[in-house]
Structure 1
Amino acid sequence: MGTICGGVCGCRQNWPLPGPATRALLATSVGHVLPTVSRLAKGMGLAVSSAPQLVDIADERGGRRLETLFHRLARELTAAETEAVRVVTDPPAGGAALTVRLLTAPTLAVELARRGVTVEVGVLAEAELWSVYQPIVSLADRSEVAHEALLRGYVDGREVGGGDLFFVAEQAGWLDRLDRIGRESAITGAAGWLGRSDLFINVHPTSIYRPQVCLASTERAAHDAGIAPGQLVVEVVESHAIADRGHLVSVLEHYRSLGWRVALDHVAAGWSSLSLLAAVRPEVVKLDKGLVQELPDAGARTVLRALVDLAHQLGAVVVAEGVETEQLADEVADLGADLGQGWLFGRPVRPDPPVEELEGRWQPVVPARR
């Protein structure tokens, strides 16, 4: 039984999907469509042979390129064109059985839907994805104590940010899959150079259905990367956390059971922030960039001081985001923030090739669970 979420989470959409195919027949009476299909297939190195109103495509390397072809067809053909093409995967050798298969074959539109392929999914399937890392520093001595991982992608010849990637993924029903890719890219990309620093990883709580199942591959990635559980800090954006408070708390408790810590991101003034702080009791509180950058406004200073005091009362470390000037760094330090993040300290960058890990035993910068 396959799942649209990529076979990692078996608890959401139990929609049977076609298995990998090594050969496909596409048939249509619309004259201009099959030349487009042939061109794309040949460009991918697939074996292509044609007959009137029929194209036969074979993948001699096991089917991965044929699957990629389906993604590209979703992007190249219009909805009307995919409705006009019928497709048979791994057809019988010939004769009556082949004729029956062709007569009863689904349209390409149906085949793409069965495979969970949309235009948006096609974009994601072909994207090159990687993580960049932004330093988080101690405001006391400006030493780097952590890095936040951020997902980036290369799509259609241009680099796009994580926000755009996750927007497309959510529209296409791939949020859980991209969230997993982001978590594991963050971990594997940090292996070899992270040293004793902490690693902040963004997660979307709604992408986790049963933590024991959905997070299994992420746990393996951390183990294989040699990153200590106490170095991992999962970062939850406030706006993502308010939909289902009970589910959120259960997911966060699973993180903590693994030895990971929890950061609540984009914390600002308002009832929702204060309510979440009390419910989640995060180990890290990240002050909203927009509020920080209102300093030295007296109102912003009052609100930020209250948030810092509350976070400290809950036992949390406070990170001020959006610190881009020395004046802002001094302001947030005076208000009691512990750590800073922003362009003043470094922009998100793709790491250099792995270097030797720092010597010495790792010690947590952010306190463990209370």
Structure 2
Amino acid sequence: MGTICGGVCGCRQNWEVPGAATRALLATSIGHVLPTVARLAKALGMTVYSSPQLVDILDDRGGRRLDVLFQRLARELTAAETEALRVVADPPAEGAALTARLLTAPSLAVELARRGVTVEVGVLAEAEFWSVYQPIVSLADRSVVAHEALLRGVVDDREVGGGDLFFVAEQAGWLHRLDRIGRESAIAGAVPWLGDDDLFVNFNPASIFRPQVCLASTERVVHDAGIDPEQLVFEVVESHAIADRGHLVSILDHYRSLRWRVALDDVGAGWSSLSLLAAVRPDVVKLDRRLVQELPDDGARTVLKAVTDLAHKLGAVVVAEGIETERLAEEVTVLGADMGQGWLFGRPVRPDPPVEEPEGRWQPVVRTPVSGAPSR
């Protein structure tokens, strides 16, 4: 007998951890719920027998598809509907025993809890992930010198942006997993076409508990990819950096020991920004897009100029984000920004498969924008 919490159970309920079921009966008096259950089960290729208040589902693949079905039901049904739907996994064949099981069957809500299924975990468990890349250009000659990798995913045939993915991951306690997936996807996806350009990779300090351990798999990906370590720039959003400055500094020190560079993203107004710059001393400073897009406002210009000047004094390169017009490009150039990023220079794109030159070298093909992709 185990507990769903893996040890001493605070809720005082010792539940058996269920094995893989191959058949499930679901019963409810709510008329519209069972058609939803039957539709999802059929879409997964399972055999479904329906009656007015009962659905009998058979999985001939050892229960794997039943697990997926429960994950999808966690998202499709409301909390009230999961409470009203009764579930019997692997029901007995004998009539009296089956009737007894149905009368005492737990609700779907309880079954989901037993299986550790939540809406958020179900989303991430089924998602497919990849990276898109947005160019970063030198403002001096508009040549592409770097790319920022941004995570995307598909859930239930719907493309989901990185912001939504990481919000769900944090709520589900999967932040460290998704952050690792994002880092490694960014690096592996850039190998065929990156060339000598730099690669900006986002990370959240809260996802890294001990750098030497949590970053080991990322180090292996970099090594296997054959990318020059000095091409990598790991960037952290300023708001994440402020949460635990000491922990952040220990992570950045580890990055630098591997010859990876570091960037501070969304740097904007206030004492915290200037203080953080002095403490972290990043290799790259990325100006807050909201301030950039307020130009030529005098207040925004004054703040951005102060940040740019301090960054240069600390030896950092300055990237202006959110550039969508030539006017903004000219404004940030006058302020002293070194590089620019935004829709003016290119939207995030998913690389096409590389093509091979006759000499056997790889070169990137033309990449098409991801429809409707945000600038980060």
* 1:43 alignment partner in structure 2: 43
In 2, the alpha carbon distance for the partners of 1:20 and 1:334 equals 65
In 2, the alpha carbon distance for the partners of 1:179 and 1:64 equals 26
* 2:293 alignment partner in structure 1: 293
Asked whether the 8 Å contact 1:238–1:273 carries over to 2, the reply is yes
Asked whether the 8 Å contact 1:59–1:66 carries over to 2, the reply is no
Q: Mapping of 1:152-191 within 5 angstroms?
A: 152-155=152-155, 158-191=158-191
In 1, the alpha carbon distance for the partners of 2:293 and 2:81 equals 51
Asked whether the 8 Å contact 1:46–1:65 carries over to 2, the reply is yes
State the identity as a percent.
Answer: 76
* 2:139 alignment partner in structure 1: 139
TM-aligned CA distance change 1:93 to 1:144, over 3 Å? farther
In 2, the alpha carbon distance for the partners of 1:142 and 1:349 equals 18
- Higher mean C-alpha deviation, range 320-329 or range 199-208: 320-329
TM-aligned CA distance change 1:81 to 1:138, over 3 Å? same
What is the CA deviation profile of residues 313-360 of structure 1, one whole-angstrom value per residue up to 9, with x for unaligned ones?
A: 22211111122233332332233222111122111111122244469x
TM-score (normalizing by structure 2): 0.78
* 1:23 alignment partner in structure 2: 22
TM-aligned CA distance change 1:155 to 1:298, over 3 Å? same
* 2:223 alignment partner in structure 1: 223
What is the CA deviation profile of residues 90-115 of structure 1, one whole-angstrom value per residue up to 9, with x for unaligned ones?
A: 78999999999989875432332344
Offset of residue 246 of structure 1:
1.9
In 1, the alpha carbon distance for the partners of 2:259 and 2:341 equals 24
Offset of residue 263 of structure 1:
0.7
What is the CA deviation profile of residues 166-216 of structure 1, one whole-angstrom value per residue up to 9, with x for unaligned ones?
A: 233333433333323322222222121111111111112222223334333
- Secondary structure, counterpart of 1:323 in structure 2: coil
In 2, the alpha carbon distance for the partners of 1:221 and 1:180 equals 11
Structure 1 residues without counterparts, runs of 5 or longer? 5-15, 360-370
- Secondary structure, counterpart of 2:243 in structure 1: coil
What is the CA deviation profile of residues 228-248 of structure 1, one whole-angstrom value per residue up to 9, with x for unaligned ones?
A: 322221111111221222222
TM-aligned CA distance change 1:288 to 1:36, over 3 Å? closer
TM-aligned CA distance change 1:213 to 1:105, over 3 Å? farther
Offset of residue 54 of structure 1:
6.6
Q: Mapping of 1:248-267 within 5 angstroms?
A: 248-267=248-267
- Higher mean C-alpha deviation, range 252-261 or range 273-282: 252-261
TM-score (normalizing by structure 1): 0.79
Read off the aligned partner of 1:345 and give its amino acid letter.
F
* 2:112 alignment partner in structure 1: 112
What is the CA deviation profile of residues 240-278 of structure 1, one whole-angstrom value per residue up to 9, with x for unaligned ones?
A: 221222222222223333332211001112111112112
* 2:240 alignment partner in structure 1: 240
Greater relative CO, 1 or 2 (CA 8 Å, sep 6+): 1
How many residue pairs are counted as aligned between the two chains? 347
Asked whether the 8 Å contact 2:192–2:363 carries over to 1, the reply is no
In 2, the alpha carbon distance for the partners of 1:94 and 1:227 equals 63
What is the CA deviation profile of residues 288-307 of structure 1, one whole-angstrom value per residue up to 9, with x for unaligned ones?
A: 11222333334333322221
* 1:334 alignment partner in structure 2: 334
What is the CA deviation profile of residues 51-87 of structure 1, one whole-angstrom value per residue up to 9, with x for unaligned ones?
A: 9957343241x55433321211112223233234455
Read off the aligned partner of 1:264 and give its amino acid letter.
L
In 2, the alpha carbon distance for the partners of 1:319 and 1:249 equals 21
Read off the aligned partner of 2:301 and give its amino acid letter.
R
Structure 2 residues without counterparts, runs of 5 or longer? 6-14, 356-360, 365-376
Offset of residue 89 of structure 1:
5.7
Read off the aligned partner of 1:300 and give its amino acid letter.
A
Asked whether the 8 Å contact 1:25–1:89 carries over to 2, the reply is yes
* 1:57 alignment partner in structure 2: 58
